[in-house]
Amino acid sequence: MKKPPRDEPRDDLSVTPPKTWAAGVPAVVHALEYSLEQTAPKETAVDLLTMNQVGGIDCPGCAWADPAPGHRHRNEYCENGAKHINDEATTRRITADFFRAHPVSDLAGRSDLWLNQQGRLTEPMVKRPGSDHYEPVSWREALDLLAGELRALDSPDEAVFYTSGRVSNEAAFVLQLFARAFGTNNLPDCSNMCHESSGFALHETLGTGKGTVGLQDLHHADLIFLVGQNPGTNHPRQLSALEQAKRNGARVVAVNPLPEAGLLRFKNPQKVRGVIGQGVRIADRFLHIRPGGDLALFQALNRLLLEAEDARPGHVLDHAFIRDSTSGFEEFAALVRQTSWDDVLEATGLTREEIEQVRDEVLNSSRVVVCWAMGITQHKHGVPTIREIVNFLLLRGNLGRAGTGACPVRGHSNVQGDRTMGIWEQMPDSFLDALREEFGFDPPRAHGLDSVDSIRAMRQGRIKVFLGVAGNFVRAAPDSAVTEEAMRGCRLTAHVSTKLNRSHTVCGRTALILPTLGRTERDHQTGGEQFVTVENSMSEVHTSRGRLKPASSLLLSEVAILCRLARRTLGQGPGNIHWDEFEADYHTIRDRISRIVPGLHDFNRRVARPGGIRLPNPVNEGVYRTATGKAVFSRNTWQAPDVPEGHLLLQTLRSHDQWNTIPYTLNDRYRGIHGSRRVVMVNPVDLSALSLAEGDRVDVVGVWHDDTERRAEGFEVVPYPTARGSAAAYYPETQVLVPLDSVADISNQPTSKGIVVRLERVTP
Amino acid sequence: MNTVEETIEIAVPVRTAYDQWTQVACFPRFMTTVKRVEQIRPTVTLWVLGLGPVRREFATEVVDQVPDSHLTWRSLGQRHGHRGEVTFRPTGAGGTALTVRMSAEPRGLTGVLTALPAATGRVLRRELANFKTYVEGHGEASGAWRGTVRDGQVRPTEPEPPRSRVPAWPVG
């Protein structure tokens, strides 16, 4: 184990050609290197060998599904999962001495990387009003303080309770129960910022908020679309599923503004042929699309399919399916037939021939899966884009059959489960009624605030208390300067966390750090050793059981913190909620969940089985809970973003050495960026047009229709094969450029993949 | 393709025989070569077959299914490819004539089985006899799935099946 860094890492950029393949031996080397920097060989071995195994630790990283029990590799994890779990299992510790040496004002000037590298939080800390230091505080005083502030509010709606996707089902259920018993639906979550557009679009068109595919479907698809996603970095285990699909004969069409290594070729480091061979080519076709051009692409494909049907009636569309199981086809078809090729080619940056070749791929395939991620959802027209993808799937009956379906690829291990547990500001009455029946209190019915609206409310002084359970809200949220100012206006900010991050340094008048157990750690309660449950992106609910000794004896589990807080805040009321029981034994929470969340009946018994519970998707049962009772063809229109001459459309993205808001190093080896994150990647042709050259220093300046200047300073220009007219730079450093009001229609999700910017040269 | 076909008469009404056939997860209880069946969804099932020391695992997809009439399936994936059909016809005595027809490429376990029609016929006959004993012994089906499948898709049914009652609100 290496000691935590005292100083900030030095920026020293070097650029090498982007990689054309992902994983392989370097992935193993980098994973082990980072793991052993963070922790001891024994801990590394324990957590890696139990990770994603039956009865083991669920990787706190992405939400990709595990293979069925009996089919898992002994090392069932990826490079980024290994880094992520050992980043949590680190043996570095932050003590009270650390906070004595580093006032909040000092910490606020530190980088995300430096803060994370200091190690695990070990005891509760408070920053009192007027003080520039966190100081130790007992759990009792910390929770009394928080409960006191909550009780002192004029209205429960002056508090927000934020959740990140690391939170277990049990903690999520307890949190939403507490918030609603307290009297508010203010339950923003990280979903609001990643796949909210998917949820709204799928719910409206298919009557389900979740993806319809399982691993089996990917394995047996004829054609797989990977749209607006980077599996090599963000969901590396998806590459194993794609490898299997390819070996079964599938073809893959990748659609992305950047030719990411993981989209091109995969060398599976767990197989000999991946170590010494050439690996598997992933994308048979790569569409180098402009950011946000995906709606136009799918509309063009849909038009081409309709025209193919005209040419060969009865041979292209699935008429029986359209007739029996869908609504709105005629209206949809009438609109799509008017799609203008000029507009499509302008929006996508593709040629008509490229799109027609994909049409041919579709016509040659009887089973199609479309996968997508935030390259789709984080655009102003994210919801219509996903609705158009659904149209595309419906036309040829690519839903509900084996080897077909819609696959939103979610990025945080339990982000889907938290929503299943009721973490949503707009939960339907059926759920709230079930809470009332079970617990004997009447939950509030007025919709609460999502993430963007929470920040708006904080700015207006309407929110006094912010509690974040896991995550790094300040860095995940858009418009960094605005968000930070809003947070600082709170009376109290509190974070339940495992490690230090910037959210702890952007304090309300009073601030609390409530340190908690990580996924990797054993969780002993008075009812015995506990496990928690999570739900992956394919609706499989299973257990996660920590194996390591906790980082400190003063850590409490998330469930324990929330139960104790609830007790202190609510006293004996309302209703009959036994917080003590919940804290002592999580089985009692799951018993309650089983009576409230449809599909999780008999939860404790069923989740204990190897592989856990597979929640059915109604679409695969022939059920569409939409307004028409059928799958809905939708009519979608779009407007290309107005990018003035001399400007670019910026998308924010993660580096390979990064998990969500936390970079592990300054490197991004797949893209060939080393030693710095303050880079902006631009197509060489655009650079010439902008009279910029490699190595120029620029400020990236956001353009938005308010008078606020949003500026990310001191970036180095890197020529990179981004799609023409676009640029890419790392998140969260460029979150400062995403206006709070630049949100996706309908879903209110920040548009972090479609920001108009200009590059201003900085003279050294 | 090699094909085998076996018919057996069962002394229960068609509906009972059909309903029991839809409960494939129960098959290991009475079939000796079926070691495990996992129902992923109404149309997709994972099977583990065993004959002596040989084990084969594969997924199947129901292609068409009409209650009390017939069910056709096919294996998923390129290996051990086979197709099958089971039909249910009422007999004059109020029972059911159940016919299973399987066709397989001449490779893999199922291929080997169907390449030896006499031996395969014996295995299939024995398993159907096991099914007969089970369903006649109980006199009623242990469950039922009454949905209809066409071209691999479950067709809309009323009322909504209980299995589909899961959280449907948007997931971010």
Residues A446-471: tens digit of each pLDDT: 999 999 999 999 999 999 999 999 99
Three-class SS state of B54: strand
* The dihedral formed by the CA atoms of A30, A32, A35 and A39, expressed in degrees to the nearest 10: -150
Measure Cα distances from B165 to A641, A719, B172 in Å: 40, 51, 19
Residue B39 lies in a domain: yes
User: Does the distance separating the beta carbons of A210 and B171 come in below 8 Å?
Assistant: yes
Give CA–CA dist A541/B167, Å, rounded: 13
Beta-carbon separation of B154 and A622 below 8 A: yes
Cross-chain residue pair A621–B170, CB shorter than 8 Å = no
Q: Where are the alpha helices (DSSP H) in A17-78?
A: 25-38, 41-50
- The pLDDT of residue B107 is 64
**Separation in Å, CA A646 to CA A245, A342, A703, A752, A761:** 43, 22, 12, 20, 13
Q: Is residue B30 part of a domain?
A: yes
B7 within domain boundaries: yes
What is the average pLDDT across A378-389? 98
Of A579, A461, A564, give the one whose Cα is nearest residue A154: A461
> Crossing angle for the helix pair B117-138 and B108-115, nearest 10 degrees?
100
Cβ of A321 within 8 Å of Cβ of B153? The answer is yes
What is the pLDDT, as a whole number, of residue B105? 75
DSSP one-letter string for A197-232: HHHHHHHHHHS-SS----HHHHHT-SEEEEES--HH
Q: Supply the pLDDT for residue B115.
A: 60
Q: Which domain CATH number covers B84?
A: 3.30.530.20
pLDDT tens for each residue of A391-433: 999 999 999 999 999 999 998 899 999 999 999 999 999 999 9
- Residues on chain A touching B154 (C-beta within 8 angstroms): 400, 620-622
Per residue in A611-668, pLDDT tens?
A: 999 999 999 999 999 999 999 999 999 888 889 999 999 999 999 999 999 999 999 9
- What pLDDT was estimated at residue A680? 98
A216/chain B closest Cα distance in angstroms: 8
Helical axes A329-336 vs A294-311, angle rounded to 10°:
100
- Are B77 and A248 inside 8 Å of each other by CB? yes
The residue range of the domain holding B15 is 2-146
Q: What is the DSSP string of A289-351?
A: PPTT-HHHHHHHHHHHHHHHHHHSTTSSS-HHHHHHHEE-HHHHHHHHTT--HHHHHHHH---
**Distance, in angstroms, between A210 CA and closest chain B CA?**
6
Query: What integer is the mean pLDDT of A538-542?
Result: 96
Q: Distance from first CA to last CA of chain B, Å, rounded? A: 47
User: Is B171 close to A325, i.e. CB distance below 8 A?
Assistant: no
Q: Which of A324, A597, A629 sits opposite B167 (nearest CB)?
A: A597
More confident residue, A677 or A642: A677
Q: Enumerate residues 71 to 90 of chain B having a beta carbon within 8 A of any beta carbon in chain A.
A: 76-78
CB neighbourhood size of A240 (10 A):
24
Q: Which pLDDT belongs to residue B81?
A: 84
Q: Give pLDDT, residue A70.
A: 86
How far, rounded to the nearest angstrom, does the alpha carbon of residue A250 sit from its chain's CA centroid?
A: 27
A206/A629 Cα distance (integer angstroms): 9
State the average pLDDT for chain A.
Answer: 95
Burial of A69 (0-12, 13-18, 19+ CB in 10 A): middle
Q: Where are the alpha helices (DSSP H) in A629-702?
A: 684-689
In a domain, B129, yes or no: yes
Q: Do B43 and A428 touch (CB under 8 A)?
A: no
Alpha helices by DSSP H, B11-163: 14-21, 108-115, 117-138
Q: How far is CA A109 from CA A41, A112, A115, A482, in A?
A: 33, 10, 10, 17
Contacts of A630 in chain B (CB under 8 A): 156
Minimal CA–CA distance to A748: which of B33, B26, B3, B172? B172
Q: Are A60 and A84 in contact (CB under 8 A)?
A: yes
> Do B147 and A621 count as a contact with CB atoms less than 8 A apart?
yes
Mean pLDDT on A688-708: 95
Chain B residues touching A597 at Cβ < 8 A: 167
CA–CA dist A122, A514 (Å, integer)? 9
Q: A616, B171: Cβ pair inside 8 Å?
A: no
User: CB distance B152–A400 less than 8 Å?
Assistant: yes
- Other Cβ atoms less than 10 A from the Cβ of A183: the count is 19
B151 touching A (Cβ < 8 Å)? yes
Of residues B172, B169, B16, B6, the one with CA closest to residue A373: B172
pLDDT tens, residue by residue, A701-742: 999 999 888 999 999 999 999 999 999 999 999 999 999 999
Q: pTM for this structure?
A: 0.95
* Rounded (10°) CA dihedral B57, B62, B63, B64: 150
Half-sphere exposure of residue A409, counting CA atoms within 13 Å on the CB side?
Answer: 29
The pLDDT tens digits for A135-151 are 999 999 999 999 999 99
Q: Which of residues 124-143 of B touch A (CB under 8 A)?
A: none
- Which tokens belong to A306? 């309709």
Contact at CB, A616 and B167, closer than 8 angstroms: no
**Band of pLDDT at residue A317, cut at 50, 70 and 90:** very high
Query: How far apart are the C-alpha atoms of A462 and A451, rounded to whole Å?
Result: 14
Contact A134, A513 (CB under 8 A): yes
Instruction: Read off the pLDDT band of A573 (50, 70, 90).
Output: confident
| Residues 6 or more apart in contact with residue A331 via CB below 8 angstroms | A633, A635
Q: How many CA within 13 A on the CB side of residue A747? A: 36
B157 falls within a domain: no
Whether residue B151 is contained in a domain is answered as no
Q: If you measure CA to CA, which chain A residue comes closest to B64?
A: A401
Please name each of the domains of chain A with its CATH number.
109-192+414-606 (3.40.50.740), 196-408 (3.40.228.10), 648-761 (2.40.40.20)
Q: Do A621 and B164 touch (CB under 8 A)?
A: yes
Count how many pairs of residues, chain A against chain B, have C-beta atoms within 8 Å: 143
3-state SS record for A357-404: HHHHHHHCCCCEEEEECHHHHCCCCHHHHHHHHHHHHHHCCCCCCCCC
**How many domains is chain B partitioned into structurally?**
1
Interface test with B, best of A191, A210, A427, A623 (most B CBs within 10 A): A623
**What is the structure's pLDDT at A302?**
98
> Residue B38's CB: how many other CB atoms inside 10 A?
16
Residue that wins the pLDDT comparison between A61 and A753 = A753
**Are B163 and A202 in contact (CB < 8 Å)?**
no
d(CA A405, CA A619): 9
Terminal CA-CA length for chain A? 39
Q: With a CB-CB cutoff of 8 Å, which residues 7-66 of chain B face chain A?
A: 38, 40-44, 46, 59, 61
Kindly write down the DSSP assignment for every residue of A296-308, as one continuous string.
HHHHHHHHHHHHH
Helix, strand counts (H, E) of chain A: 32, 33
Strand stretches in A79-230, DSSP E = 93-94, 120-121, 125-127, 134-136, 159-163, 223-227
Distances (CA, A) of A313 to A223, A251, A308, A392, B1: 23, 26, 8, 18, 31
Query: Which chain B residue has its CA at the smallest distance from A69's CA?
Result: B38
CA A579 to chain centre: 30
Residue whose entry in the numeric block shows the structure tokens 């801990």: A43
Question: Taking CB atoms and an 8 Å limit, are B160 and A614 in contact across chains?
Answer: no
Cβ contacts of B40 on chain A, cutoff 8 Å = 214, 216, 614
Strand partners, A548: A521
Q: With a cut of 60, say whether residue A45 has pLDDT above it.
A: yes
CA distance B39 to chain A (A): 10
Host H or E run for residue A69: none
Q: Which residues from B are below 8 Å from A625, CB to CB?
A: 168
| Residues forming a β-bridge with B57 | B48
pLDDT of B108 reads 59
A516, β-bridge pairs: A556
For residue B165, being part of any structural domain is answered with: no
Q: What is the spatial distance between Cα A697 and Cα A678, in angstroms, rounded to a whole number?
A: 10
Q: Which residues of chain B have pLDDT under 50?
A: none
Q: Is residue B59 part of a domain?
A: yes
Q: CA–CA separation, A453 vs A185, rounded Å? A: 12
pLDDT number for residue A39: 87
Chain A residues lying within 8 Å of B39, measured CB to CB: none
Query: Smallest Cβ distance to A195: which of B157, B163, B172?
Result: B172
CB contact under 8 A, A194 and B172: yes
> In Å, how far is B133's CA from the nearest CA of chain A?
30
How many whole angstroms separate alpha carbon B155 and alpha carbon A612?
A: 28
